[in-house]
Structure 1
Amino acid sequence: MGSGAEATRPLNVDALLARPDRGEVRRFWSAFRANHPRVSGVGSRVRRAVLRIGAAVGALATFTMVFGTVRALSGGAQRSPEQVIGMVTVGVLVVIAFCVLLWAAVRTSGRRLSPRQQWALSRFASDNALVYAPEPVVGGLTPWQRRGRLVVDRAMRSTAPAGRTIEWADYELRRATSASTHTQFGGWIAIGLRRRLPHIVVRATDRGARMLSTAAVPDDSQRLSLEGDFDRHFTLYCPSGYERDALYLFTPDVMATAIDDGGGWDIEIVDDVLLLVRPRGVITTDPDEWVRLVRTANAFAGQVEQWERWRDDRVRVVSPPVTGLDPRDTAVARRGRRLRTRWSPATWMWIAFAVLMVATIVAGRYL
């Protein structure tokens, strides 16, 4: 399967609809585990078990704490305001810890694929000239390596020799830094570019879950308003001084593609990669979803050829290029390489909440 305008062969989803017998799946799974031992490695199983046990213990502790708090407050005993505040504070902290553990357990367990699903994805990749990489890999996407410990859970890649490289992958950002503008768990479509471009982030506006997300956000001073309906669907951020360049890259036809095929995705251009990112995974055995994923990737891959004709006149040329290649045709000036980011409102909310809880406990103990 090619990319962009070259993807003329229809997507073959027969493997995703097939129902192989148990013997075939068992034989496949035996060879699959031998070739990809990290798919069902001890580390991932231990991590899932720890999170499940933690969620179960948290559920029991939450029930016990809430029940005990309600019973104590509804009793006839007189308690000082400090005691009441302290009990409620501890109860809230236990509930929050349980919610975090439960969320992590559900997200981690939900990414585990059954042998039959692995069989379907492997056959699907073979039928469509794709390369399936099922094992978790630390790192991988170079522009994201400073955003935390990046783990690519599984990936599907285009291998068309004359086409543009496209990757569909699920990721997890562990110990994310303040430079990460995306959620801890998610999936992406990564489209390779043939030159570096300025760092631009286009955030979808219909993601209500951002209110509680601690991912960083681009500084508002870098926000660029565009004409038409684009601002209703997305918010675009570009480095200061690169506004005209962003308008060159995000022309009306590109914006139409973003609205029609990129709804719900965040779009990021970073170095020589175009990324479409969402908080849900993309590696699935749903044939209809794969049709949408491939259509979205091809729509954007067909738009980026004009981007590769862009050049950055801000790049200083110290001497005539020996190789005959003008550095302005491949490089980006320093100020255009990365957006400035800041903590999200949710991060400040959690910090304020933690400070309030600690102050309440200290006040209840010493005042």
Structure 2
Amino acid sequence: MTRSVPFDSTPLTAPVTRAEVKAYTAQLRREGHLGSPVLGVVILCVVGAVFLLALGPILIAVFATILDPGGPSAIVAGVLPFVIFVGIVALAVWGITRGLGGAAERRFRLARFARANGMRWLPRQPAPALPGLIFGRGSSRAASDLIRGENPRFVEIANYRYTTGSGKNRQTHRWGYVAIRLDVPLPHIVLDATGNNGLFGSNLPLSFGRDQRLSLEGDFDEHFALYCPSGYERDALYLFTPDVMARFIDNAAALDVEIVDDWLFLYAKRDLSTLDPATWAWLFTTVAALLDKLAQWARWRDERLEAVPAAGAVASGIPGAQSAGAPVLTPPPAGVAPAGRRLRRGFSWVAVVLVVAVGLYVAVTLVATVLGS
């Protein structure tokens, strides 16, 4: 995301050697970013040995019954389970090694791509401390393949996973996100993209009160549903001027957007940190287009915060100005009043309909049971 460095996607597709990948993997292990694959192989062998000890006698008896128990086949019956075990372990080790090789090459390509574009790559970040609506939910939260840039402002692009439920209802949620650090905290605003909605509406994990929906001019509403805290409508209009709206429509219409605290997030229900050059070209173009407009947001101030007296200020003596000896007030400090820091959550009408439908089904079933008896 560094403007002085031209976009270069060559490392994503250029040939690499096994020696390069192996050396980089060893470096990551030395730096503590990767564990050793030996542990996984050892665990696999231990599990296999326990399996063999538990079922080996049964398999020997089965093979001995099928084969001739009095001839040379008895030896085969005793050796065959061990041959099967060794074969299974060999296949498992081969599969693990091949998978690790592909993952290692992916890591090497992403790290080299990040360097070529003035950024850096991180393999994993458990439970990232970010305030966005997809973070802090469920369990096993982790970001992976993080690409970070610091200039002209902090930008992070990564994949994100978290799980909800348990047992058969356990579900893993997959997201890709772009996190951009802003100059000042801003009101909580969500732009729910209409182009990626599903059959039951928004794909976001939270819903917001419909009275917080703000309609903007032009065709913006065709691309985004904008939610802002009640009373902050004028502030949202200040932030989303026609030129800013045009940038979001032209570059980010396929992404959900959230402004919260001093962060701007772009969300997608798929991986964004990939080896696909087209995806990265689109992301770099999108972020660059938005960065050009974010500087004007730094001037926003929440008028609901109290202005503070300027230290050592004196009255100007201009007619209509404050009287002599009265403190001269400076603009409100950067920040957001409590009412604007978070949107108020709303009901999920899909969930309400499902609950009502289940309730009606149960009621009808009970009535039918009573009448039938």
Q: Is 1:32–2:21 an aligned residue pair?
A: no
Q: 1:1-367 maps to which residues of 2 (within 5 A)?
A: 1-2=1-2, 7-34=3-30, 35-37=32-34, 114-144=103-133, 146-149=136-139, 150-160=141-151, 163-175=152-164, 184-209=173-198, 211=200, 213=203, 215-317=205-307, 320=309, 328-352=332-356
Tell me: CA distance 1:113–1:185, structure 2 relative to 1, closer, same or farther (3 Å).
Answer: farther
Say if 2:132 and 2:265, in contact at 8 Å, map to a contact too: no
Q: State the aligned residue count.
A: 288
Return the offset for 1:337: 0.6
Any idea what SS the aligned residue of 2:180 has? strand
Give the letter aligned to residue 130 of structure 2: L
Distance 1:222 1:9 in 2: 41
Any idea what SS the aligned residue of 1:191 has? strand
Tell me: CA distance 1:323–1:169, structure 2 relative to 1, closer, same or farther (3 Å).
Answer: farther
Return the offset for 1:159: 2.5
Distance 1:323 1:115 in 2: 61
Any idea what SS the aligned residue of 2:261 has? strand
Which structure has the higher relative contact order (CA within 8 Å, separation 6+)? 1
Distance 2:270 2:207 in 1: 19
Give the letter aligned to residue 37 of structure 1: L
Tell me: CA distance 1:253–1:33, structure 2 relative to 1, closer, same or farther (3 Å).
Answer: same
Q: Any gaps of 5 or more consecutive residues in structure 1?
A: 47-111, 177-182
Say if 1:168 and 1:283, in contact at 8 Å, map to a contact too: yes
Corresponding residue number in structure 1 for 2:51: none
Corresponding residue number in structure 2 for 1:80: none
Any idea what SS the aligned residue of 1:329 has? coil
Say if 2:210 and 2:346, in contact at 8 Å, map to a contact too: no
Distance 1:36 1:362 in 2: 58
Scaled by the length of structure 1, what TM-score is found? 0.69
Aligned-pair RMSD on alpha carbons? Answer: 3.5
Distance 1:159 1:280 in 2: 24
Give the letter aligned to residue 186 of structure 1: W
Tell me: CA distance 1:304–1:153, structure 2 relative to 1, closer, same or farther (3 Å).
Answer: same
Distance 2:311 2:102 in 1: 52
Distance 2:250 2:39 in 1: 43
Distance 1:166 1:194 in 2: 13
Distance 2:106 2:204 in 1: 32
Distance 2:294 2:216 in 1: 19
Distance 1:303 1:8 in 2: 18
Tell me: CA distance 1:193–1:214, structure 2 relative to 1, closer, same or farther (3 Å).
Answer: closer
Give the letter aligned to residue 208 of structure 1: N
Return the offset for 1:294: 0.8
Return the offset for 1:349: 4.5
Distance 1:323 1:201 in 2: 41
Distance 2:259 2:183 in 1: 12
Distance 1:137 1:303 in 2: 31
Tell me: CA distance 1:158–1:198, structure 2 relative to 1, closer, same or farther (3 Å).
Answer: same
Scaled by the length of structure 2, what TM-score is found? 0.68
Distance 1:351 1:114 in 2: 43
Any idea what SS the aligned residue of 2:293 has? coil
Say if 2:257 and 2:264, in contact at 8 Å, map to a contact too: yes
**Bigger Rg over Cα:** 2
Any idea what SS the aligned residue of 1:302 has? helix
Say if 1:223 and 1:238, in contact at 8 Å, map to a contact too: yes
Distance 2:243 2:102 in 1: 38
Spell out, residue by residue over 1:246-305, the C-alpha distance to the aligned partner (whole angstroms, 9 max, x if none): 011001001100111012111111000011111111101111211111111111111111
